[in-house]
Structure 1
Amino acid sequence: MTFADHFETFHGLPVHTLPERPEEALPAAGAVAWRLDCHVAESMSFDDLWQSFVDRVPSTEVRALVIGPWWYDEYSELRPALELILAAAPRFPALRALFLADVTGEECEISWLQLTDVTPVLEAFPLLEELAVRGGDSQGLGEEPLSLRPVRHEALRIMRFESGGLPAQVVRAVGASELPALEHLELWLGVSQYGGDATVADLAPVLAGGRFPALRRLGLQDSELQDEIAAAVASAPVVAQLESLSLSMGTLTDAGAEALLRGQPLSHLKRLDLHHHFLSESVADRVRTAFGSAGTEVDLSDQCAPHRWRDEEWRYVAVSE
């Protein structure tokens, strides 16, 4: 799986990329999610693009911001660009959503997107409702890896980490954070080859329930440990409070599905997303019957076959490199 296209909507708003030419007419500042992209503004560094944005768009009305490629020619780390945004936080009192980084696979592979500590975003924007982050670990490139510190944030409703290898430190920090308004949590855990070293034990605070009292939609996805995660979810207290559960994009096999079938009832779920899986037809039919007959929407699309190498089978996640 690659990201072939940029977002068209974010936080319920159409995405509008800031045009390079200042004479172009702009929409109302609060009517769109503003996208900044140095590949569009080819003559500008991110510093210049950011200055153009704050000069041309009334910052006090901006509700959502999408950061695309923050470099044009030679790749650079995110931190300097993020520091510009954080320094301007008082100028954006209406900002409710931020996405780092809306970058396609042609622009940069997801696990080559080297990010930074994103905790200052939540500290600088106490009214932020949605934070989405795409990228991974530094993979020994000498840059600061994606990280998060435990934090308390009263307003955050949606948190998403899209990664081909999400560091365990980030997973543990999420579980140690106090997010009383959090309704939607999505973690793409990825593979160890690209820094995804989280274990099921690292997910324990989330699975225990009660940590996030408002949580209704949970995604623990894109993992090479998907069977182990499914087995843990099968008896996890958090499931009782959910409306939607996603264990998609990973290496889920009949063993993981059987654990779900033997586990606690899931009939209260509105949606169970298991797409990109390695289930046999017979077990997939049992899952559809067991959960679908109760009124749950079950997504079992993208049935995969393992790759074979000599005498071994290899199962793959949807997003890695």
Structure 2
Amino acid sequence: MTYLGIEHLERFHGLPVHTPEQSSGALPAADSVAWRLVCDYGEDAGFATLWEQFLESVDTARVRALVIGPWWNDEYTPIDPVVELIVAHADRFPALRGLFLADVVGEECEVSWLKMCDITPVLEALPSLEEFGVRGCGQEGLALRPLRHTALKSLRFESGGLPGALVRAVAASELPALERLDLWFGSSWYGGDATVDDIRPLLSGGVFPRLRHLGLQNSEIQDEIALAVGSAPVVAQLETLALSLGTLSDTGGEALLNGQPLSHLSTLDLRHHYLTGPVLDRIRTACAPAVVEGGEAEDDYADPDDEDDEPERYVAVSE
């Protein structure tokens, strides 16, 4: 079984990620890296102290990208105070164009346990932000309100359970510069209650006119999404499409084959799927010259001794 999912960012916003707490020597130029702030486990100093040290030691007026790693010392705590600090000091970061919240992997905290909050104030406080990524689940407070943001080009939610209300808020937002959108829907066990109806405005093609990449991923309803994508007007304007990390089966594969042509794409990402080899081969042939990223199918789970046991399919990232 091939696992795709959550890993630490090595590059962000076109810059190498640098964690000052994990390195020695002179600090790099403020605008040459994406700064990753991490609280060391077991130390007494909290994120507020780490933040103050960062403000004092780095010329934040030149910082172009910021990545927030684990923000707690011992017990998991909500990200609210971190968001409040970023918002309160937004004027200290006039050059900030990239921000990622919760660059945390399973060994540090499962995605479904990350205690999130309404992240709308961050976008409101940083009107020049071009790239924004968030990792976390709806059942732990992740939320967004509809807003207008004229600079944002890339928006990414990596979730083990994305709430439908957040998806609807994205669709209701005015983001005229948006070129890339990635939504990881996750599992209903962890607050992932988004439906195809929630994404229909995104599929219409009229919401984000500059959109060139769309990721509708990590979903338990990947077949339904594939069916909707098959006739979605937005597809004509895309250069890349990702339907990966979810439970895509031959049902969804046939929907793609019977839908609109996808050969204008440069890449169709179907990694982590449950397609049979013949259907995947047909998709590759139908989409040529587009590159179809697939690989071998994931294994369905079923008890071989139980005739009534139906195979179960899983998204790549849930807990």
User: Shorter-chain-normalised TM-score: which range?
Assistant: over 0.9
Contact persistence 2:167–2:198 (CA under 8 A)? yes
Report the secondary structure of 1:138's partner residue.
helix
Change (3 A) 1:76 1:19: same
Aligned residues: 313
> Any residues of structure 2 matched to 1:234-249 within 5 Å, and which?
234-249=230-245
Change (3 A) 1:302 1:134: farther
Report the secondary structure of 1:19's partner residue.
helix
Which of 274-283 and 309-318 deviates more?
309-318
Q: Distance in 2 between matches of 1:256 and 1:118?
A: 33
- What does residue 10 of structure 2 align with? 8
Q: Distance in 2 between matches of 1:277 and 1:24?
A: 45
Report the secondary structure of 2:81's partner residue.
helix
How far the C-alpha of 1:288 sits from its partner, in A, is 1.3
Change (3 A) 1:284 1:20: closer
Contact persistence 2:6–2:317 (CA under 8 A)? no
Which of 302-311 and 59-68 deviates more?
302-311
Letter in 2 for 1:10: F
Which of 40-49 and 153-162 deviates more?
40-49
- What does residue 48 of structure 1 align with? 49
Contact persistence 1:20–1:40 (CA under 8 A)? no
Letter in 2 for 1:83: E
> Any residues of structure 2 matched to 1:301-312 within 5 Å, and which?
301-309=295-303, 310=306, 311-312=309-310
> Any residues of structure 2 matched to 1:277-316 within 5 Å, and which?
277-292=273-288, 295-309=289-303, 310=306, 311-316=309-314
Change (3 A) 1:134 1:188: same
Contact persistence 2:156–2:182 (CA under 8 A)? yes
- What does residue 142 of structure 1 align with? none
TM-score, length-normalised on structure 1?
Answer: 0.94
How far the C-alpha of 1:41 sits from its partner, in A, is 8.9
> Any residues of structure 2 matched to 1:225-240 within 5 Å, and which?
225-240=221-236
CA deviations over 1:135-176 (Å, ceiling 9, x no partner): 10235xxxxx10000011000000000001001111000000
> Any residues of structure 2 matched to 1:93-112 within 5 Å, and which?
93-112=94-113
Q: Distance in 2 between matches of 1:53 and 1:80?
A: 16
Contact persistence 2:153–2:179 (CA under 8 A)? yes
Q: Distance in 1 between matches of 2:89 and 2:27?
A: 21
How far the C-alpha of 1:18 sits from its partner, in A, is 2.0
CA deviations over 1:217-275 (Å, ceiling 9, x no partner): 00000000000000000000000100000000100000101011011111111110001
How far the C-alpha of 1:81 sits from its partner, in A, is 1.4
The answer to whether the aligner puts 1:177 opposite 2:173 as a matched pair is: yes
TM-score, length-normalised on structure 2?
Answer: 0.95
> Any residues of structure 2 matched to 1:33-112 within 5 Å, and which?
33-39=34-40, 42-112=43-113
Q: Distance in 2 between matches of 1:281 and 1:3?
A: 22
Runs (4 or more) in structure 1 with deviation over 6 Å come to: none
Letter in 1 for 2:122: V
Contact persistence 1:4–1:106 (CA under 8 A)? no
CA deviations over 1:72-91 (Å, ceiling 9, x no partner): 11111000111011100011
> Any residues of structure 2 matched to 1:129-148 within 5 Å, and which?
129-138=130-139, 145-148=141-144
